[in-house]
Structure 1
Amino acid sequence: MSKYFKITWVHPVLVFFALILDGVIALNWAPLLYKLPMSASPLLVLLVLLMPILVKTDDVLNEHLNLYFLAGVIGLIYDFYYTGYVGVSLIGFPLMVGLATWVQKYFEYSYFWEMVIFFTVISAYLIFDYLAFGVINVAKANFQEFIIFHMFPSILINLILFIIVFPALSILYRWLQAPNLVDYQVDNKQINNRLIFRRSDRM
């Protein structure tokens, strides 16, 4: 990777960009996403937030930036601009980071299993969101209506976003994780100021 591109700052920037993009998608696709009685919530921000966990680069990121802290900050901003009630995503996003981290331990990295994990997290977050709004007496639909008219459409749109975005993001995050040769230093004394060549057996 380039020494100028570090996962420690690229990841927060991408998460913030995804946060804005969620609003853009919701605004421009409103006739499709919010066709009564159905409504679907794009959660691209949650996908990007979980990318270090999904591609197993979170250990590198956590050395310099706590993923739970980032989730809390982004959740707070999400509450201010989208949910309108501070505390829902502020608590929900870090919980989903914890859930994804726990579930990921039991699966090897593959496109299919990462989709399953994302499906699990999205489902859990939507249920948490519904219960949170129920606690503050804001949820208007009963649980059955929530499943049919909001949860199912939201899962569908977010799985479509996963299919479109995840392959490119996976390549990017693995590139960011790759070691930078510029960071390596070799002491000349270790090789006695000589270049070491290995004779090929094919000669």
Structure 2
Amino acid sequence: MIQSSKLKYIYPIGLFIAFFLDGAINQVFSADLFQFPYSMISNLIIIWMVFTIFFTGQDQIHFLLWALVLGLMFDWYYTGIFGVNLFIYPLVVMAVQGIKPFVRTTFISVLTVTLVALVLSNSLFYAVFTFLRLTNVSVVFFIGYSLLPTIILNLSMVVVLYYPLKQLFRRTRGASSRTLE
């Protein structure tokens, strides 16, 4: 019970840290991340959600509810267009939860599922903005100059964060965490 209550506090705290770090990284390093024609976007929220789905019990945290709340906050605070991330984040969470039972929790599988989640999230964001006519960038330009650099940036962060976050969740879960590799 103690581990479960720790997770209920660590998950939202980590989620809000990722929320504010996404904005801070994108703002502070904007000269480097957004050099024409390239653009890289930090997606620590997606990384945090994927890690927690893999490293915690599915029944302990209401991932969809938190994804809705953070999607609404992200839309309100960063994009100003309500509903985009409000639906994208829960879709990503459902996709990751659907994939998780079929893969073991290893570095390669977490990296691969994070890749899928990042591609899904950024592609849906692009599709919605194209549909709303808020962007006029071609698919090829989007993939080459935005999606690929974004994936490289975020997978680099996954490589750096994997072991420390795995240890955080192992310590939080206590003795029952032996199932984590």
Contact 1:33-1:39 at 8 Å conserved across structures: yes
For 1:59, the equivalent position in structure 2 comes to 58
- Report % sequence identity: 23
- Structure 1 unaligned blocks of 5 or more: 181-203
For 1:144, the equivalent position in structure 2 comes to 140
Contact 2:7-2:172 at 8 Å conserved across structures: yes
Instruction: Name the aligned partner's letter for residue 43 of structure 2.
Output: L
Deviation at 1:147, TM superposition (A): 0.4
Secondary structure in 2 matching 1:79: helix
1:23 equivalenced with 2:19 (yes/no): no
For 1:108, the equivalent position in structure 2 comes to 104
Contact 2:51-2:110 at 8 Å conserved across structures: no
Supply the distance in 2 between the matched residues of 1:68 and 1:21 (Cα, whole angstroms). 21
Query: Could you list the per-position Cα deviations for residues 36-72 of structure 1 after superposition, in whole angstroms to 9, with x for gaps in the alignment?
Result: 11111100011112222122x132523xxx1100000
Deviation at 1:163, TM superposition (A): 0.9
Supply the distance in 2 between the matched residues of 1:3 and 1:105 (Cα, whole angstroms). 22
Please list, as runs of the form range in 1=range in 2, the aligned pairs for 1:1-203 lying within 5 A after superposition: 6-55=6-55, 57-62=56-61, 66-178=62-174
Secondary structure in 2 matching 1:6: helix
When Rg is computed on C-alpha atoms for both structures, the one with the higher figure is 1
Supply the distance in 1 between the matched residues of 2:101 and 2:4 (Cα, whole angstroms). 31
The structure with the greater share of residues assigned to helix is 2
Secondary structure in 2 matching 1:138: coil
Structure 1-normalised TM-score? 0.81
Supply the distance in 1 between the matched residues of 2:163 and 2:82 (Cα, whole angstroms). 33
Query: Could you list the per-position Cα deviations for residues 69-94 of structure 1 after superposition, in whole angstroms to 9, with x for gaps in the alignment?
Result: 00000111111122221111110000
